[in-house]
Each structure stands twice: as structure tokens, then as C-alpha cells.
Amino acid sequence: MRIGVVTDSCCDLPRDFLDRHHIDILPITIRDDGNTFIDRRDPVATRQFYAQLGGDSEYISEPFSVEAIRQRFLDQLVVDFDYVFCLTVMSSRSKIFENASLAARAILTDYRPIREAAGHSRPFSLRVFDSNNLFPGQGLIVAEVARLAAEGASSSVIIATIEKLTQTTQAFLIPADLAQLRNQARRKGDKSVGFASYLLGSALDIKPIIRGFQGTTEPIGRVRGFEAGVQKLFDTALDELNKGLLAPTICISYGGDPKVVEAMPGYAALKQAATARRVQVYLCEMSTTAAVNIGVGGLALAFASEREVRFD
């Protein structure tokens, strides 16, 4: 059985990994004052977008429409694969899951003549899942599905893994600059970074640690200084790695050139320990959707653990 994986451009995974596993990306459109950027997870285009990202800009993201998703599947995916898993960014932050779910109904109704014309008699199956996470957290789940599919795992094993990881994957984000985070939060009515907190944070260089977990995003701690925050995230991941992760994958994304992360405090120790334990560390550019929410230079990290991590 040919298993395919589809996700959206909020998914933080390296481009070469996406290409190697033939993962299809549903693009997201970012708009600001008449300017339009379509995020297809192209590393060069993403870095060019970072270069023009301003802390006082207001961005609106538009997910792939129901009809666009339907057409994407019928044009190619229903012929290329027998079973497709579609994993979206958390539904509380985007309509992509809703649109993909609506499109799935039409796809499963319309696919038969297309497959028959291509010489495929076997039925086509499609499952849409809310990842309950975002950015590297979404990337971790997608990476695990792709790994299992490449190993020849059955659809039932993959489904069980998705159901486990959507409840246990935790993503942590830390901004380098609070201006963009506060601006986007204010526009969306999100009071997690209020004006008083913004002023205090800016004056004292205090950064919030934001967690994506089980379909919600919330600040769960603060740290003084971006580098100290990054060190804290890497040390936490190392501690969880040593205790035992639920998936052999750690995903890290950065709002800039990923090579910068390799020199950040704590990264080398985490990478060395992961290699020793045969855990894959995937490092990539942060999606533009993430960047417009937490700003250029921010860092995010995700792992799956049976222990819920919080910061005092």
C-alpha cells in the first residue's frame, strides 16, 4: 500500500526531509498592507521574508481553501497514493483542519473515476488529523508518520501513533524580540502578552516561554535574556531525552539561518546526547506563520514525553 503524507506550511521540518519523504505541503498565504507571500516551505524564500519582517507590521494568514485542497488531491494525490494522512496545525489557531475535513468528504466521493482512469482499482483512503500542535510540534508528528510509512508500518499502527503523539507532543517557543509577539497578540485579542508585561519585558529583557500542547498555546514561564531561554529549552529537552522520549525525534526551528542555532548554548550537548540515543534532531527555518507571530530570531523546540513540562 502506498502511503502519503500531507501537511500545511506551518509544519517546521527541513526541506530535504519533506522532499525525501514526498510530503505534500498545503501552502498558507501571508498578507500585509497589500503585500502577499505564499509560504511553500522554501528555505530561500522564507529567509527573504524574514529580511523584510518588521516588528510593527500586522499580518493576516489565509489557509488553503476547501476547494483548493479538494483539487490538490484529485489532481495528483488520489493517483499517487492509496492512503493519505493529512496532519494540520492545531485547529484552535487556524481553519486548515476544518477546510481539510470538509474537502475530504468531496474527495472520497469524487476520486473513483480518476483512479480508474489511471489504472488503479484499489479504493483510496484519506484521514485528516488535527495535530493539536504547531510549528516544530506539528513537524514532530509529521516526521514520525513519514518514518513509520517508510518502514512499512500498517495504517492502524500509524493511526495509533498519531493519536498518542497529538496528546503528548509539547512545543516551546521563545521570542528574541517582544514587539512582533505583542503586536500580533493585540490584533487577535490574545491577552497573553499585555502592554504592562511588554513594557516590563522590554526593559528587563524578560522573555516569555510559550507552549503548544493538546490544542492550546499559553505562556508557561519567563526567563531573563534570550540566550538563557534557549539554554533552558535545550537543557529541558536533554533532561527529557535522558528520561526517555515517546518518539525518537526532536524538532527545532529558528527565525533565521538554522546554522546560527548550532552555536547557541546547549545545542551541541543536546545533539551529542541525541546521536548517542539514536534520536533524530531536525533543525530548520521557522515557518513564516510562526515568524510573524513571535518575530524574527525566535526559536522553537518540540519533543514528545509522558511528562508534562512546566517552567516556574
> Where would I find the beta strands (DSSP E) of 131-215?
169-174, 206-213
C-alpha–C-alpha distance, residues 88 and 10, integer Å = 8
The stretch 207-214 carries a mean pLDDT of 92
- 311 within some domain: no
Supply the DSSP string of 86-145, one letter for each residue.
Answer: EEES-TTT-SHHHHHHHHHHHHHHH-HHHHHHTT--SPPEEEEEE-SS-THHHHHHHHHH
- What is the percent of the chain where pLDDT is above 90? 74
pLDDT confidence of 188, banded at 50, 70, 90? low
**Least-confidence region, from 37-51, 128-142, 175-189:** 175-189
- Domain ends where: 166, 182, 207? 166
User: Does residue 211 lie in a domain region?
Assistant: yes
Confidence band of 59 (pLDDT split at 50, 70, 90):
confident
Q: Is residue 312 part of a domain?
A: no
Q: What is the mean pLDDT of residues 67-74?
A: 97
- What is the side-by-side strand order in the sheet with 280-285? 216-224, 206-213, 169-174, 299-304, 249-254, 280-285
Task: Name beta bridge partners: 62.
Answer: 29
Structural domain total, the chain: 2
The answer to whether residues 7 and 153 belong to one domain is: yes
pTM (2 d.p.): 0.92
- CA dist., res. 209 & res. 11, Å (int): 20
Same domain, 52 and 117: yes
Q: Is the residue at 309 inside a domain? A: no
Among 75-89, 98-112, 186-200, the range scoring the smallest mean pLDDT is 186-200
Helix-helix angle 155-168:136-150, to 10 degrees: 160
Domain around 78: 3-166
For residues 17 and 139, state if they share a domain: yes
Whole-Å CA distances, 72 to 14, 39, 59, 105, 122: 22, 16, 26, 14, 20
Q: Is the pLDDT of residue 53 over 70?
A: yes
Last residue of a domain, one of 131, 166, 201: 166
275 and 181 inside one domain: yes
Query: Which domain CATH number covers 233?
Result: 3.30.1180.10
Least confident stretch, 24-28, 60-64, 114-118, 184-188: 184-188
- For 119, phi and psi rounded to 5 degrees? 85, 20
Query: Which residue, 166, 187, 211, sits at the end of a domain?
Result: 166
123 shares a domain with 250: no
pLDDT at position 49 = 87
**R_g over Cα of the chain:** 19
Whether the predicted pLDDT of 123 surpasses 80: yes
